[in-house]
Amino acid sequence: MFAPERTEYDFSVWNWLYGPKVERFPNTGPDGPVRIRSVVLDMDTVVEIGAILKEWAGGTEPRYTVNGGSAYGDRDVSEAELDSLVAEDRARLIVTVNSPNLTPPQNGLVTFHSNPTVNVPSQVVRDKIVEKLQHNRPRVKWRLVTRLFPLVLPLVLAALWIWLEAVQPMPAPAHALGSVLIAAAFVVVARPIYNARHNTILGPGHRIRMESRAQTIARRADEKKNVKVAAITTLVTVPLTIILTSLFGFILR
């Protein structure tokens, strides 16, 4: 269940890094489409989402489509072909399903590119898909982060002012004037950033790994094993080196 608005994310650090977890489309009901954070996932998750849509549609097979955009036509791929898709095609993947068994017939749609959406006219099914996607690592929305860059200038000015106050205390009028000017600079710079906080439609879209879930698990297990070996080797060799060096120095005396 999602709150009707997403204002609870507006001032979160994670919201500035990743965008809101769930963002409703304007003027839609509780079972309407939502935008979600971009994440890094595997193709196994895509297939599982297709299975959820298939179950909701009463057994109708999901359709996997590579969005060709305005320059190229869309291209359908089978579930067996998903693992062979190149990174560019994975970034433009769409999963849809038609549900003729429902009255009236309804469609489900999950997009992975640009600003990912989940559009299923069933709140339970939609939330199930959103939850599955949110269990993956989020991607930073750098275009949201870059909005904060104008704050660097007033922050630098404030730091310089504090340093000047510490080095050379100023008269009360100068102190008051400087403080007011820096506060005004903050307001002028921060106000447009605050007003634009609801505009989070800035990508980057989900990224589907080239490796399968089993390959990812195996790779991470190898990485953990290598870290353990390196840690044990360090714990053994460092004290041993110190002892041998001390002993060798003692012998030379």
pTM greater than 0.85 (yes/no):
no
Residue with tokens 């999950």: 110
The mean pLDDT of 211-230, rounded to a whole number, is 87
pLDDT score of 9: 43
Which among 81, 97, 80 has a CA at the least distance from the CA of 89? 81
Residue 119 pLDDT class (50, 70, 90 cuts) = very high
Determine the Cα–Cα distance for residues 83 and 106; give it in Å rounded to an integer: 28
Round to the nearest angstrom and report the end-to-end CA distance of the chain: 76
Q: Residue 145 contacts by C-beta under 8 Å, 6 or more apart in sequence? A: 16, 17
Q: Which of 61-65, 181-185, 196-200, 212-216 has the highest mean pLDDT?
A: 61-65
Q: Give Cβ neighbours of residue 64 (< 8 Å, ≥ 6 apart).
A: 46, 50, 76, 77, 78, 79, 81, 82, 93, 94, 95
pLDDT value of position 8: 41
1: pLDDT strictly greater than 70: no
According to DSSP, the β-strands at 39-41 and 207-208 are: parallel
Q: How confident is the model at residue 253 (pLDDT cuts 50, 70, 90)?
A: low
Q: Are strands 34-36 and 117-119 parallel, antiparallel or unpaired?
A: antiparallel
* CA 73/CA 66 separation, integer angstroms: 9
Q: How far is the CA of 150 from the CAs of 100, 146, 197, in angstroms? A: 52, 8, 14
- Bridge partners of 66, per DSSP, are 75, 93
Give the whole-angstrom CA distance, residue 76 versus residue 96: 11
Q: Phi then psi for 24, rounded to 5 degrees?
A: -75, 150
| Two structure tokens written together for 45 | 């998750």
pLDDT at 202 over 80: no
- Measured distance CA(238)–CA(236) in Å, rounded: 6
pLDDT digits (tens, 9 = 90+) for 59-90: 899 999 998 766 677 899 999 999 999 998 99
Average pLDDT over residues 132-150: 88
Continuous H helices in the chain: 13-18, 43-56, 87-90, 123-134, 142-145, 152-167, 172-195, 213-252
